[in-house]
Structure 1
Amino acid sequence: MHIKVGMTQLANETVVTVDNLPFIGFSMPSKTNGSDPNSASWYLPKLRRNAKSEFKKRHIPGAAFFDIDQCCNKTSPLDHMLPSERIFAYYVGNLGIGNDTHVVVYDASNFGAFSAPRVWWMFRVFGHSSVSVLNGGLKNGANEGLPVSDRYSRPEQTEFRAYLNRSWVKTYEDILDNLDSKEFQVVDARPGGRFRGVDPEPRDNTEPGHIPGSISMPFSSFLSASGHLHPREDLQTMFTQAGVDLSHPLCVSCGSGVTACHVALAGKWVAPLDNPVSLLNSVWVWSSRTDGWG
C-alpha cells in the first residue's frame, strides 16, 4: 500500500513509523485534505491469499490498491518485469498520485513487510524519490493506532510523469560484464537453500544456485520477529559481516524482483547518500541465459 500525503521535511525518509505519519500529513481522508492511502500487498501463490479481496475488507481509510501483477511488463514470460514509463505513469496517476505527492508504502503481510519494498523501489526507479515504507506494515500499524476500514472511494485521476533512472536497474549483460570488472557487488535475497542450490526454485525448469561471486543475505534476515526492520546500526553490522561495503555500488537480486527490494531498502536506509542500489529483476534471467549458474 502507499499513503499519498503532502511533501514535508520527511519527504526523503526511506522508512517511517506510525509516529511519523502526522508529520508527513497523514489524516483521515476527505475531498480537501489531499490525503490518499494505497495498498501494495502481494502474496506467493502457495499462500492462497487474495491480496485485493483482503484489501477491500481491511485497509487504512482512503487507500487504493497497487497491484504489482498489473503494473508490470505483461509481455515478458517472467514475473514482475518493469513496465514502461508510460504504463507506470498512467497506472500511478489512476491511483491519484502526482509528482508532488509523498508516498508511504505498506502491505498486509504476516512478515510485517513483503511486497511494499518492491513498490518503494518502483517509485524510485521511475524518478520519484519522495517515497517511504511504513516500518512494520499493516500487521503492526493497526496495533499501533492506525485506523482500518472496509470503505473505499476511487481516487481522482492525477497526472504523473515517470522518468526511468537506469542507475537503479541492471541487465543480464551488466552482470556478465561484472564477473570480470567487479564494478559492483551482487547480493541475493532468496533463502539460503535456494542460493546454495540445495532447495528447489518455485519456478518450473529452473535449477537452484546463484550468480558467481554473489553474496547471500535472505530478505527475512532484515526483519525482526515483530516484523519491523532491524535498527540502522544492526543493519550496518549485517552488511559488514556479510562482506558488503555500502560505499561501493550494489546490485540486489532474487527470484522475481520482490524480496530483493528489502536489501535495496535497507541499503538506502543505512547509507542514503552512497551509491545507487540497483536491481537485477530476476536471477532466473541469468540462469536461463547461461544454461545454469556457472
Structure 2
Amino acid sequence: MAQDDPTTLVSTAWLAAHAKDPDIRVLDASWYLPSDNRDPRAEFAAGHIPGARFFDIDEISDHRSDLPHMVPPVEKFMSRVRALGVGDGHKIVVYDGAGLFSAARVWWLFRLMGHQSVAVLDGGMPKWLAEGRPVETSPPIIRDRHMTVRKNAGMVRDVTQVAQASKLGNHTILDARSTARFRGEAPEPRDGLRSGHIPGARSVPFTQLLNDDGTMKDPDALRAVFDAAGADLDKPVITTCGSGVTAAVINLALERIGKTDHALYDGSWAEWGAFPTVPVATGDT
C-alpha cells in the first residue's frame, strides 16, 4: 500500500477516515476514450463516493482550441471550481472510474493553478467499490467558495517548447501511450494523425506505473520502470500522451519519487501528430 500523501496520492482507507472532515472535497474526474463506451456523468449519477462533485474534463477546458480538453483560461477554471464548492483551504481528493487514469490530469491541473493540497485516490472507484465502501446517488449540497489561482506556467509546455527540447536534448521526454503507438506500429485513435513519437522521447506506458489492481506502484518500483525505459531523470522532464490525460500519470509518479522539475505537453500527440512541420520518429528511438 502506498504511503498516504495529501499532495499526491491517498488510499481508500485514508479517504474513508477523512471523508467527513469539513475541509475535504472529493471530485469525480472520470473520463473515457470513445472506444470505452462509458458515460462518466451517467455513472456518477448512478453512484458516487459520498459528497463527491463531478469534474467535467471536457467542459472545464479551453473551448477556443480545436484540441481536446486543453487547459482552461484561469477565469474559467476559477468560476467552474467555485461552482463546485471547491476553494481556498480545501483538501481535494480526485478519483476516476477506471482506477487511476483521468484523475491524475485533474490533480495536475489543480497543481498547475497553484493548489498544492490535492491528491489522487489510489485505485479510484473500482477499489472503493471492491472494498464495499458506501456510495450515494444524491447530489451534494454546494456552497460557493473562492479559490485563489497562481498559475505555475513552468508546469505546462506547448508545441514550440517541446520541439526545441526534442532538438536540443536538454529535457527528458516521456510518452505515456502504449508501446505499439509509440513505435508507430498501431494506428492512432484520432483520425488524421501520423503514427510514431516525438524524436528523442522514451516510452513509459502509464499502465507500467500501476499495479494489477489499478493502484500506483511504490516509489522503488516506479524508479525501476523509469530506469528500464532509459529515462534520464537528471534532466527536467516533459510528459506527453495522446491528448494530455494519461501523461499526468507520469507526472504523478515523478512527484511520488521526489522528482519535481516536470511539465506536461498539453497538446500531446493530438497536436504533434497533426502538425505538419514537426518530425516524427518510429521504432524504439
User: So what's the TM-score if we normalise by structure 2?
Assistant: 0.91
Alignment CA distance shift 1:292-1:239 (3 Å): same
Q: Per-residue deviation at 1:187?
A: 0.4
Q: Contact 2:24/2:91 (CA < 8 Å) preserved in 1?
A: no
Pairwise CA RMSD: 1.8
Matches of 1:10 and 1:231, distance apart in 2: 13
Q: Per-residue deviation at 1:291?
A: 4.2
Deviates more, 1:201-210 or 1:35-44: 35-44
Q: Which deviations, in whole Å up to 9, do the C-alpha atoms of 1:15-50 show, x marking residues without a partner? A: 111222366x322x8xxx344422111111111111
Match of 1:199 in 2: 186
Q: Read off the aligned partner of 1:71 and give its amino acid letter.
A: I
Q: Contact 1:107/1:113 (CA < 8 Å) preserved in 2?
A: yes
Match of 1:157 in 2: 144
Structure 1 unpaired stretches of 5+: 1-8
Q: Read off the aligned partner of 1:73 and give its amino acid letter.
A: D
Match of 2:61 in 1: 72
> Which of 224, 230, 235 does residue 243 from structure 1 map onto?
230
Match of 1:289 in 2: 275
Q: Read off the aligned partner of 1:66 and give its amino acid letter.
A: F
Q: Read off the aligned partner of 2:157 and give its amino acid letter.
A: K
2:5 maps to 1:18: no
Q: Contact 1:257/1:279 (CA < 8 Å) preserved in 2?
A: yes
Q: Read off the aligned partner of 1:182 and give its amino acid letter.
A: G
Matches of 2:23 and 2:198, distance apart in 1: 45
2:215 maps to 1:221: no
2:100 maps to 1:108: no
Matches of 2:88 and 2:168, distance apart in 1: 37
Q: Contact 1:250/1:275 (CA < 8 Å) preserved in 2?
A: no
Q: How does 1:19-168 map to 2 (within 5 A)?
A: 19-21=13-15, 25-27=18-20, 33-109=22-98, 112-168=99-155
Matches of 1:121 and 1:72, distance apart in 2: 13
Structure 2 unpaired stretches of 5+: 281-285
Matches of 1:11 and 1:140, distance apart in 2: 18
Q: Contact 1:188/1:260 (CA < 8 Å) preserved in 2?
A: yes
Q: Which deviations, in whole Å up to 9, do the C-alpha atoms of 1:74-97 show, x marking residues without a partner? A: 111110111011111111111111
SS in 2 for 1:38: strand
Q: Per-residue deviation at 1:145?
A: 4.9
Q: Per-residue deviation at 1:180?
A: 3.5
Matches of 1:100 and 1:10, distance apart in 2: 17
Q: Contact 2:169/2:200 (CA < 8 Å) preserved in 1?
A: no
Q: Read off the aligned partner of 1:287 and give its amino acid letter.
A: G
Matches of 2:141 and 2:33, distance apart in 1: 27
Match of 1:5 in 2: none
Match of 1:183 in 2: 170
Deviates more, 1:161-170 or 1:210-219: 161-170
Q: Which deviations, in whole Å up to 9, do the C-alpha atoms of 1:50-109 show, x marking residues without a partner? A: 100110111011111000010000111110111011111111111111121111111111
Identity among equivalent positions (%) equals 37
Alignment CA distance shift 1:179-1:114 (3 Å): closer
Q: Contact 2:23/2:91 (CA < 8 Å) preserved in 1?
A: no
SS in 1 for 2:274: helix
Equivalent pairs counted in the alignment come to 276
Q: Per-residue deviation at 1:225?
A: 1.3
Q: Which deviations, in whole Å up to 9, do the C-alpha atoms of 1:191-219 show, x marking residues without a partner? A: 11111111111111111110000001111
